[in-house]
Amino acid sequence: MSLPNPLIPGFNPDPSIVKVGADYYLATSTFEYLPGIPVYHSTDLHSWSRIGHVVDREGQLDSRDVPTLGGAWAPTIRFHDGLFYVAVTDAMGRGTLVFTATNPAGPWSDGLAIEGAVGIDQDLAWDGDGTTYLTYSGLDTVTGNAAEHGGILQVRVDLATGKALEEPRSIWSGTGLMFPEAPHLYQHGGYWYLMIAEGGTERGHSVSIARGTSPAGPFEGNPANPILSARSTERPIQNTGHGDLVQTPDGGWAMVLLGMRPRGMTRAFSALGRETFITPVTWEDGWPVVEPVILNPRPGGGSFEDGFATDELDGGWIAVRRFPGTFASTAKNPGVLTLAGDGSGLDDPRPAFLGRRQQYQVETISALVDAGSTAHPGSAGGLAVRYDEAHHYSIELSGTTVTARARIASIEQTWTHPVPDSPVELRIETRQPGHGTGFGHLSSDTIALQAVIDGEALTLAELDGRYLSAETAASFTGRVAGVFATRGSVAFEWFRSTGREPN
């Protein structure tokens, strides 16, 4: 099986997949970003397109004040009796939710809150008589008691009322590694299989599996556990885990899973966060055997350009704790994206920031920005690459001044330069670090903040990219790069991104 890896690049963690006829549907986590839980479609497991989002309107998630790391965790997508289901954790919000739709492109339901099943990484499965089993990881992100972990738990649930039909039962919780999570139940070849992740979502991440004759257990662990892990290896894809099994078009099997691509001399910094990967699976003696996850980037890189020609924003744009339509419009001035700054900046929990997942480890974004000219007096906005509100780099235009800014936790530095009183092209370049020795070689990349003046690109700052990585920021997301406004009305005539893999 020769499939691209990453399968879906950039910030796309915790993948879950379902096969319905000849079609595949895959969903991933989005945490504090909206719209939430993208749904991707494929017919060959190779080419994927985003067809919609589960969360596309207010009220489905309790996102407005969710802290960093909260929001939509680890969706499981399934199909049963003509209906699509997504079970998910609204961490630090509504709790355990189940969304339904007749069409995976949407619209999806408002989300049924499940009572009596507090945890994360919910999975749904149905036995032969239609009984619904909700299996999940016993970490409480709702009441604040997140210090205790209850292992892998299970309840039978009534999806008409949203109530658990029994007290949570503890079932097989792995081999003893930390943080048993991401359970999925499958019926195959006379057994029910319970597959989980354990070892933490960091370098010790792994996948283990057990089986029994009932979806409720008891379960017997595979003597070969863990069946997948990259820990203590030289593989370029690390942190492999949180897998979901699916049949391939040729009748074989595969696992989709999350992984990370750490860079630098010590492979310590993962700029793009947790991405979706895939690897072949075979069955031997009634157990799945998983091949190591092989790096196989799509050739040629990629590009995206938005001239904002339609009233609807492209579905790849996402915002932080609010929907893009609350501050961004292409209908107000056709052919121009207009952002309304409300005084909030990139340090704030709900910035007027509209971003796209960074998909390549070498990438340039650019935009023509009008902020503070005669048409937009007193405005300020520009380009930014963001991990969270405490880790971001930006370049901002205000009148005849452009300001580059780096925010790393409690440390901030700025650089300014005069520009003409007219729209200015701003750029952010993500560059691979130089070869050789020294501190520069240790980092994942460098990030240059630029303004184009009289046709020449002026670099105001070139910054160490390791501070916008999963390991440094400690957020569960990935780099998101795009446009923002801090005050007034800021206009963007176009936005472009181009990317490739490192040499």
Q: What per-residue confidence (pLDDT) applies to 266?
A: 86
Q: What per-residue confidence (pLDDT) applies to 434?
A: 73
| Closest by CA position to 77, among listed 56, 101, 51, 61 | 101
Question: Do 337 and 328 contact (CB within 8 A), yes or no?
Answer: yes
Phi-psi region of 194 (alpha: psi -120 to 50; beta: other; left: phi over 0): beta
| Residue ranges covered by each domain of the chain | 16-247, 302-500
pLDDT at 435 over 70: no
Bridge partners of 310, per DSSP, are none
DSSP structure string for 217-249:
---EE-TT--SEE-TTS--SSEEEEEEEEEE-T
Question: Pick the residue with more confidence: 231 or 141?
Answer: 231
CATH superfamily of 16-247: Glycosyl hydrolase domain; family 43 (2.115.10.20)
> Where does the pLDDT of residue 479 fall: very low under 50, low under 70, confident under 90, or very high at 90 and above?
very high
Give, for 305, the enclosing helix (H) or strand (E).
strand 302-306
Centroid of chain to Cα 418: 37
> Where does the pLDDT of residue 140 fall: very low under 50, low under 70, confident under 90, or very high at 90 and above?
confident
Q: What's the rounded mean pLDDT across residues 385-399?
A: 97
Active site residue 370: no
pLDDT tens readout for residues 269-279: 999 999 999 99
Which residues, 6+ apart, have CB-to-CB distance to 408 below 8 Å?
390, 391, 467
> Cα(first)–Cα(last) distance of the chain, in Å?
25
> Where does the pLDDT of residue 375 fall: very low under 50, low under 70, confident under 90, or very high at 90 and above?
low
Alpha-carbon distance 112 to 502, whole Å? 44
| Closest by CA position to 261, among listed 332, 377, 361, 111 | 361
pLDDT at 386 over 80: yes
pLDDT at 437 over 60: no
Active site residue 181: yes
- Name the average pLDDT for the chain: 95
Architecture of the domain defined by 302-500: Sandwich (2.60)
Which residues, 6+ apart, have CB-to-CB distance to 487 below 8 Å?
341, 342, 343, 378, 379, 380, 381
Alpha-carbon distance 161 to 245, whole Å? 29
Catalytic-role residue among 121, 181, 198, 396: 181
pLDDT tens readout for residues 78-98: 999 999 999 999 999 999 999
Q: How far is CA 256 from CA 84, 135, 241, 390, 439, in A?
A: 19, 19, 9, 31, 35
pLDDT at 142 over 90: no
Q: What per-residue confidence (pLDDT) applies to 223?
A: 97
- Residue 147, classified by CB atoms within 10 Å of its CB into exposed (0-12), middle (13-18) or buried (19+), is exposed
Q: What per-residue confidence (pLDDT) applies to 378?
A: 86
